[in-house]
Amino acid sequence: MILERLKFRNYHRIEADPYFWRTYDGSEVDLVKEREGNLFGYEIKWSGRPRLHPPLKWQEYPNSSFHLIDKNKLVDFIL
């Protein structure tokens, strides 16, 4: 899913810096995009129980958002 999103964004020249975010205690966000001073965090789950809320440390970042992406939201995520 991440690769498809990056390909789409690159093709349409939508610029954002992609990152992976993880703390020492093991909390993580699967994909982080930084654009114009804003952080967009994405938790991606194809199966299993999704995390409904961002990690506590993630919530400390100003101008950040957190999005849960599953197989039902794949097309919206890529576009």
Confidence bin at 70 (pLDDT 50/70/90): confident
Number of other residues whose CB lies within 10 A of the CB of residue 25 = 9
**Cβ(37)–Cβ(51) below 8 Å:** no
The yes-or-no verdict on residue 63 having pLDDT over 90 is: yes
**Cβ(43)–Cβ(51) below 8 Å:** yes
The yes-or-no verdict on residue 64 having pLDDT over 90 is: yes
**Cβ(55)–Cβ(23) below 8 Å:** yes
pLDDT score of 40: 94
Predicted structure pTM score = 0.83
Domains and CATH numbers, the chain: 2-78 (3.40.1350)
Give the model confidence (pLDDT) of 12-58 as tens digits: 998 888 899 999 998 899 999 998 889 999 998 887 776 778 898 99
